[in-house]
Each structure stands twice: as C-alpha cells, then as structure tokens.
Structure 1
Amino acid sequence: MTLSRRDFIRSAQAVGLFYASVSIAGCARAHSANRSFALIPDPARRLDLPEGFSYTMVSEAGGMMSDGFYRPGRPDGMACFAHPDDSDKCILMRNHENWNSVPTGSPFGKGNELLDRVSESQLYDRKKDGSPFFGGVSKVVYDLKHKRMERDFLVLTGTAANCAGGPTPWGSWLSCEEEMLTPAEGPGKYHGFVFETPSDATGLIDAIPLKAMGRFTHEAASVDPKTGIVYMTEDARHGLFYRFIPNVPGKLQEGGRLQALALKGRKSAITSNWPKDWGGNGPETFVVGQDHVAEWIDLNDVEAPEGDLAHRGHAAGAARFMRGEGLDYAVRMDGETGDFYFTCTEGGAERVGQIWRYTPDEGAEAGGTLQLFFESTSADSLDMCDNLVVAPWNDIILCEDGRGDQYLRGLTPDGKIYDIARNAHKDQSEFCGACFSPDGTTMFVNIQQPGYTVAITGPWETLRA
C-alpha cells in the first residue's frame, strides 16, 4: 500500500520516513469485528447503515453555492448550531481541508475567475504564483423538517488545510489550520493558526488569525463552558495537548496565555504506548483506566516562526501525544462537571488509536486529571480514530481515518465499540465532522472524498440500548 500525501507530510514532520513506511507496511487492512449492529448495504454504494436508519445527501463538493462560488473540496471538521429564527432549521459550519499542494477544490472556478469578488482583507493568503489558497469554511442552512439544504455559502477563504476545530458557547466556529507554511516556502504569510467564524455570518468575513492561540499543526478545539478556556489538539507524532486561557472569556481576539499539559512526576512523558524501538517508552506505559495528575506549562514565543512550539514544550516537560485529533466536551450526569475526550489517531501498542479523557479541576490555574480511556487493540475494532463528537446519549462517536474500510463507530462509557456506518464508496475516504442537530434527531457527517455531506436519521435510542 502506498503512503498517502497527507500521511507523508505528517510522518516526515514527526519521526522520519523510516518509521512511517514500517508503520504502514505492518498494518493490515481493516474490516469490522464489531457485531452489535449489522450494516445494510446501500444500493447507491455510498453509506451502509443499520436497519431503520437512512441518510439524505446534503451537498457534494464542486457544485454552485448560493453565493455564486463553487463548493470547496475536502469537507472536514464541522459543527451544528441552532438557527436563531426557526427551530425547524439548523446551521452547519463546515471546514475544507485543502492543502497547499492540492490543485483541486477551488471555490473560485476554473482559472479562479471568481477571485475578483473577494477583497484582500477577506482572502487570507496567496500561493507563490499568486493563486489563492483554497482552505476555509462554508456555512450551510439546513431544513430539518423537509430534510434538505436551504442554502450554503463561503465564510472564510485563503487559508491552508482547515482540518478540524470546534464550536464555542457564544455561537462561533473555531477553524484550525493544520498546515504550517512559511513565507520561505512561497506563501505571503505564516500558516498554522486558528480563525474564528461567527455562525451568524451572512457571507465572507475578514480572515484574521488568532495568533495568541499558537502556531502549530492545529487539529481540534473545544471550549470549557464554565471557564471559557479553549483546549486544543495537535495532529503530529510529536504533538502536545494545549489550552488557551483568554484574557477575556468569550473574546479570544483579546489575547491570552497558551499552555501545554504535563504529568506530575513524569517530565516529558510519551503517551503513545509504542515500544521503545518506535520512539515510545515501552509497552503498557499507560494503562487504560489509570488516573494521572495533570499540570500545565506556560509556553513562550507562541507564534513560533520556526515551527518548534511542540518541541520546546516537550523539552520543558509537556507530555507528547501521538497525533491528537478529535476533541469534544461531555457534561456528566450531575450537570455540573464535565470531561474532555480526545483521540490520538496512531496511539496505542497496535498503533490504531487511543481515546484520552481530561477532567479539569476548578479554576483557571488548576491542573486536573488525565486518563487513557480506551486503546484499540485491533484495526478491525477501531482503526485510527480521527474526529469525534459526544452524542446526546453520551456515547462517543468516532470518525475513522484508517487504512482499510472506513467506519463511523460508537464507543460506550463501558468501553464497547459498535458500528454506525461504513463508507461504501469506492474511494474509501475518511469520515469527518460528525455532529448532531440541536434536537438530537439528525447526525451530520462528511465523507471527505468525493466531498459528500450527509444527514443521518433513525432510531438513535437503539444504539445506546
């Protein structure tokens, strides 16, 4: 099996091509060993679902949007917001993970003939040849009652590889750049930042990076609703787990402090559970269910023009996580406390995925508790978990970005994995951006290639049962 361009970039940035090639070659293609729900083959060969469930195609990349731009390619991270005026409708804020080296997926048409409709303040950056970057965010207004898209349009553009992000309690979407480009590589500006896009946007906004939130290979973000602190993952094999303490909660543009998680008594811990030969600490370094006391390290020079923020943080004592990706906050049954769950796509002794749980203590300066919540022991059960979302019934919904069949999986509080959907399309592309409508009736998810956004409905209560 050949190494994808995306895996190539991630691997080369982290530990070199040798490790990447061995990891790919040593892992078999995944099938499902989870027998809790049988998936019914889709005659259209798009999406296999359990009995009683169905999907509606919301949109496909490449079509014309309501604003006259073309729908960008590679839909990725996404969040759903309540419509301010109509409870039968909802709003999707949808990322587009178009990389610098990917020539397709432009919202501006052939030869970028529509680019003159975009002001310089709205277009974050251009490539060396003067053409625009194609990453960004589109907004979708979806009619839940009639199961159809009402309109969609471009909100953010000119950014690079907007992979994941996260919603805020104040109604905006944090869109995160995964690609850390520098002007020396051709662009006019540095990349690798967070951009805030309001869910009530009516068109393109000015593209303003939140530089105080750090420059690194950003993946997901999630906000503590009690404190306004933003937690963030990093999709790199040398990545850290970050938090941003804003000077003014709810106003990230006012700046703040960036920190990285460390473990008390375990300076510069490596959490991958990889054997030593693979750059880990040996097998069973971290045990599922065991709590570890967390503390936080202040980071300096967070705009990191050299792209070395994670390396400096690790040297200062921060824990290293194996490709942190999906991240979401879950309120506990008491309604007062909550936990952050995040994935490590290549974590674990079998290198097919870990899910961690971080529980913050009270107060902005407090530490908290870190626990390895789940570690996959087989690609046939869970293969390289990427984006995640906590379901209304408190299971964790996991989007796979693996090496074989791509599944949407559920994870129960007692550690049981079950299948929700299988990508039946010939491209076998990753699932991403899973999120639920405010009323919990509809789950939206993207299939990155060929660029589908779908809405899934059905008897969700049977999954938890």
Structure 2
Amino acid sequence: MSVSRRHLLAGAGALGAGITFTGALDQLFVGHAAAAEVGGHSGYGPLVPDPAGLLDLPRGFSYQVLSREGEPLLSGEGPVPSNHDGMAAFLGRAGHTYLVRNHENRPRSRVRVPAIEGLTYDPAAEGGCTVLELDHTGRPVDERVGIAGTGVNCSGGPTPWNTWLTCEETEDKAGVNGYTKDHGFIFEVDPRDPHRSGAHPLTAMGRFQHEAVAVDPTTGVVYETEDAFAKPFGLYYRFLPNKPRGGPGSLRAGGELQAMRVPGVPDLSVVQEAGTSFDDVEWVPVPDPLAAQTPIRLQDFGPGGITHAQKLEGAYWGNGRSYFVSSFARTKDGSRATHFGQVWSYNPRSNRLTLEVVFGPDTDTQMPGESPDNIALSPNGGLMVCEDGGGDQYVYGVSRTGMVYPMARGRQNLGTPESPDYGEFAGVAFSPDGRTMYVNCYTPGTTFAVTGPWRG
C-alpha cells in the first residue's frame, strides 16, 4: 500500500473543492492517441444544437438513428423494447457489425422484450437483449431478440471469444413481482446466433444485483461489479472458470466465485487520493454464490469481513488491468465517505488495486464531471463516459491531461419546456474499426451511431 491506512482513514471525506478530474490518466490511455487541444480546451469544440431535437454534437459530426423503442423489429418478432442500456459492438462477416443491446425492463415496462421460443428464460420477465446487424455502410439489415425472459438487464461486458455477457440487476426470487424463476444472474448471448447460446443462467457466477463485467483475455477470469441499492453496498468479485481457455458456452462449466477484501478498508469510499494503491488484496471464496437464504454481500466472510463500495457500475479490461467505476458515494446513504465518482484498476499480475481517477464536485453546471456510469475506451484517443446525473444528459470525453469535454447532449425532452427532463445515456461503445461511436438514450429508447472527424 503506497499510502498508510492511518493517513488514508484520517483524510476520509476530504475532497478538494473545484477539482474536476484528477488521477493517473496515462494508465487509462496506454496504447491510445491523446485528443488534441481545440481553442485551449480538449475535445472537438462546442456542441451544435440539433434542429431535429434529438442529439447535439460538435461541428463536423453527425448521427444516424439506428433503432427506437416501439418501432417494429426488422425480424418481425415484435416491437423494439424500451429502456436501452448496456451495449457492445462485434465484428461480423463481410464487414458487418453486430450490436448487442440490453433492455433494463422491470415488471410492467413500457415495451417488453418479446418472448421467443428457445431464447426465453422466464416468460414472466420482460427484460433481455436485442441484436442489431449493420452492413458495411452502417445500415441496419437485421434486428432480432438475443435473449428474453430476464429481468433488469443493466450492463454486462464482451468476452474475448466475441459473445456478450448480460447482467441482471435484481435479486428477485420466483414468486416476487410475478417471476416464475429466480433472478440475479449473468447470461451469455452469441450475437451471430442467439439460439446457439440459448437462455441459460450462469449460476456459478453468483446471484446478486449484477452491473458489469470485464474478462481477462489471458486467464479467462471474469471480474464483476455489484450495484446494490442499499447498505451494505455491493462487492467487487472475480470468477475463476473451470475452463479458463474460454469459448462460447465455456462459462457454463462452472468455477469459483470470490469477493475482494482490502485489509483494513471496509468501504472503498474512504480512499480519496488518486494514486493510492494496495498490494495486499485478498480474494475470499463466496460462501453461497446462489444466495439461497442470504444476499452475498450480507454473508459471513470470516475475520476481517469484506470490502464494500456504493454504486459500482461500469467495467472494462485494458492495459493488463480490470477497471471499474464507482459512480458516487454518499454518507447520507450509508457510505463511510462521500465522493463524486472514482475509476479503480486491479492488476492481477501484481495483485495491486489502485484508485486511478477521482471525479470532482459540481463546480461547472455545463461540465460537472460527476457520477460516471457506463465507460469505454475510444480507439481514437480518449475515454468516453456516460454521465448519470441530473439536468442535461451528456456523453463526456476525457483527454489524457484530464480535461473533460462534451461529446454529445441529449435533446429528447421528457418533461415540459418550463421543466425539461432528459433520458440518460448508456451503452457507449465503438465499432471494431473505431470510426463510429454507438450510444443509447435510455428513455425514450434510442440507439445512435455517431460519425465524424475522430482523431488518431
């Protein structure tokens, strides 16, 4: 550990006013070109109002609406479901791209994911995934159900073998909310042939309020975040698969689920200084991964307990590390300290956990730099963050030097002209060739493809 725990715990809650973004950003951008400076500010310039009232972008950029909730799926299976959330892009044949998109539908959602034979886990559940196939020009040529009958599909993550792991952000059991089966699992979706993956819960990977995953391509280890809504908050997990070489369906062979313990740190929110690291991380076997009687975060992990964190959200793998996001922590909610957003990394080779980036308070109403949610590395020179805050909703870019700049702003007003309300962004991802940014508006469910003069 590079900072003493006494110093760390004594300083809990101390976050310098006016900080926008601090931390070891070079760690996030290794292998990526840095964004250039425009007019003294990082980014692509000011956002230009969209005459159509959908999406504001910098000059020179344009968007295409690929899909909107309620419109017919191109497959004819039913309408496009609502609540567009996590998403990833995969390379297909002949230059085609597959977009796998989560639908975070709860019971009584606006538009449910159609129940398709062979792809439905629980007919009473309304969430799932859809798959968009785009041709080499970016035009949608197919759109179909990838999995159905799952609940509250929030985020997930891609695997090295080009499938999507979709995560249920719920712990509801059979009999709750009308469900006929237990929920809280991860499911694998094959974008090229969803029927090959089916609708099988990966039970060994745990039953809890899943958020996102990141897979180590060398070992096949899967790192998982838990966005538990109430104290004690979620845990950070790793899953050691019985078939570490991976491949479609390999995770169904089971493995061991472990939770991260940082000795002497019961709550990651107490870590306030970017660059703080711990090299004594412990991984503790989860007593009951299926949480038959007790939620995992409440189970007995023995002497020393376990390390919790509020609002664990996005995750991704890069630079030989598993990165994960804590969107915020608030003492009023039960966290040990308050922060406005953190990005952590875990290096399995050195067994080191590091607080890479700290987001700052709302010092600038135009670019608040707080509450990071979905997060993705751009192959063209930056970090893209879907901010989950109040007011206007943005996709932000972050330069290597730590400057935050607006990349997109949602203009679909769900409120009134006097009291506007905008749906959050989610699922930011880039095409395999890096030339297109895909992003979802959660409500009303809309999937955009953004092209323009990306640098790098």
Please give the range of the TM-score, normalised by the shorter of the 2 chains. 0.7 to 0.9
In structure 2, C-alpha distance between the alignment counterparts of 1:319 and 1:286, rounded to whole Å: 16
What amino acid does structure 1 have at the position aligned with 2:273? Answer: V
Give the corresponding residue for 2:80: 71
Contact 1:154/1:204 (8 A) holds in 2: no
What amino acid does structure 2 have at the position aligned with 1:291? Answer: S
In structure 1, C-alpha distance between the alignment counterparts of 2:402 and 2:308, rounded to whole Å: 24
Pair 201,400 (structure 1): closer, same or farther in 2 beyond 3 Å: same
Contact 1:222/1:327 (8 A) holds in 2: yes
Is 1:123 the equivalent of 2:114? no
Structure 1 segment 169-184 matched on structure 2, within 5 A: 169-184=160-175
The offset of 1:257, in angstroms, is 0.8
Contact 1:139/1:153 (8 A) holds in 2: yes
Structure 1 segment 303-342 matched on structure 2, within 5 A: 303-312=290-299, 317-331=305-319, 338-342=320-324
The offset of 1:375, in angstroms, is 2.7
Pair 394,235 (structure 1): closer, same or farther in 2 beyond 3 Å: farther
Instruction: Determine which structure has greater relative contact order: mean sequence separation of CA pairs < 8 Å that are 6+ residues apart, divided by chain length.
Output: 2
The offset of 1:55, in angstroms, is 0.8
The offset of 1:199, in angstroms, is 2.0
In structure 2, C-alpha distance between the alignment counterparts of 1:408 and 1:168, rounded to whole Å: 24
The offset of 1:200, in angstroms, is 1.5
Is 1:272 the equivalent of 2:254? no
In structure 1, C-alpha distance between the alignment counterparts of 2:287 and 2:225, rounded to whole Å: 18
Give the corresponding residue for 2:443: 449
The offset of 1:313, in angstroms, is 6.4
Give the corresponding residue for 1:343: 325
In structure 2, C-alpha distance between the alignment counterparts of 1:412 and 1:313, rounded to whole Å: 42
Deviations 1:252-280 (A, max 9, x none): 111001111121x425x21124xxxxxxx
Is 1:230 the equivalent of 2:222? yes
Contact 1:407/1:421 (8 A) holds in 2: yes
In structure 2, C-alpha distance between the alignment counterparts of 1:42 and 1:383, rounded to whole Å: 25
Deviations 1:83-123 (A, max 9, x none): 1x212x211111110012x3321244xxxxxx5xx33x532
Moved more, 383-392 or 188-197: 383-392
Structure 1 segment 128-139 matched on structure 2, within 5 A: 132-139=124-131
Pair 176,55 (structure 1): closer, same or farther in 2 beyond 3 Å: same
Contact 2:212/2:315 (8 A) holds in 1: yes
Contact 1:231/1:241 (8 A) holds in 2: yes
Contact 1:93/1:138 (8 A) holds in 2: yes
Is 1:286 the equivalent of 2:281? no
The offset of 1:307, in angstroms, is 4.8
SS across alignment from 2:146? strand
Is 1:360 the equivalent of 2:376? no
The offset of 1:206, in angstroms, is 2.8
Deviations 1:20-75 (A, max 9, x none): xxxxxxxxxxxxxx964311111111111111111111110111112212211111
SS across alignment from 2:299? helix
Pair 352,374 (structure 1): closer, same or farther in 2 beyond 3 Å: closer
Contact 1:156/1:204 (8 A) holds in 2: no
Contact 2:125/2:179 (8 A) holds in 1: no
Structure 1 segment 4-153 matched on structure 2, within 5 A: 36=42, 37-69=45-77, 70-83=79-92, 85-87=93-95, 89-100=96-107, 102-108=108-114, 118-119=116-117, 121-126=118-123, 132-145=124-137, 147-153=138-144
Contact 1:125/1:159 (8 A) holds in 2: yes
Contact 1:47/1:422 (8 A) holds in 2: yes
Deviations 1:271-295 (A, max 9, x none): 124xxxxxxxxxxx43111112222
Pair 458,314 (structure 1): closer, same or farther in 2 beyond 3 Å: farther
1:206 to 160, 178, 198: 198
Deviations 1:210-239 (A, max 9, x none): 000001100001101111101111112501
Moved more, 410-419 or 434-443: 410-419
The offset of 1:144, in angstroms, is 4.2
Give the corresponding residue for 1:244: 239
SS across alignment from 1:86? helix
The offset of 1:391, in angstroms, is 1.3
In structure 1, C-alpha distance between the alignment counterparts of 2:349 and 2:296, rounded to whole Å: 25
Give the corresponding residue for 2:355: 371
What amino acid does structure 2 have at the position aligned with 1:122? Answer: L
Deviations 1:145-178 (A, max 9, x none): 2x32111000100010111000001111000000
SS across alignment from 1:272? helix
In structure 2, C-alpha distance between the alignment counterparts of 1:351 and 1:371, rounded to whole Å: 12
Q: How many residues align?
A: 388
1:191 to 183, 200, 215: 183
The offset of 1:383, in angstroms, is 3.0
Deviations 1:319-365 (A, max 9, x none): 2111111111123xxxxxx2222211223766532222222216xxx
In structure 1, C-alpha distance between the alignment counterparts of 2:61 and 2:300, rounded to whole Å: 45
Contact 2:68/2:446 (8 A) holds in 1: yes
SS across alignment from 2:297? helix
Pair 254,233 (structure 1): closer, same or farther in 2 beyond 3 Å: same
Contact 2:321/2:345 (8 A) holds in 1: yes
In structure 2, C-alpha distance between the alignment counterparts of 1:308 and 1:375, rounded to whole Å: 30
In structure 1, C-alpha distance between the alignment counterparts of 2:275 and 2:329, rounded to whole Å: 16
Moved more, 378-387 or 188-197: 378-387
- Consecutive unaligned residues of structure 1, counting only runs of 5 or more, are 1-33, 109-114, 127-131, 274-284, 332-337
Contact 1:330/1:394 (8 A) holds in 2: no
Give the corresponding residue for 1:221: 213
The offset of 1:399, in angstroms, is 0.7
- Consecutive unaligned residues of structure 2, counting only runs of 5 or more, are 1-39, 331-336, 415-421
What amino acid does structure 2 have at the position aligned with 1:378? Answer: D
Pair 442,313 (structure 1): closer, same or farther in 2 beyond 3 Å: farther
Identity, % of aligned pairs? 38
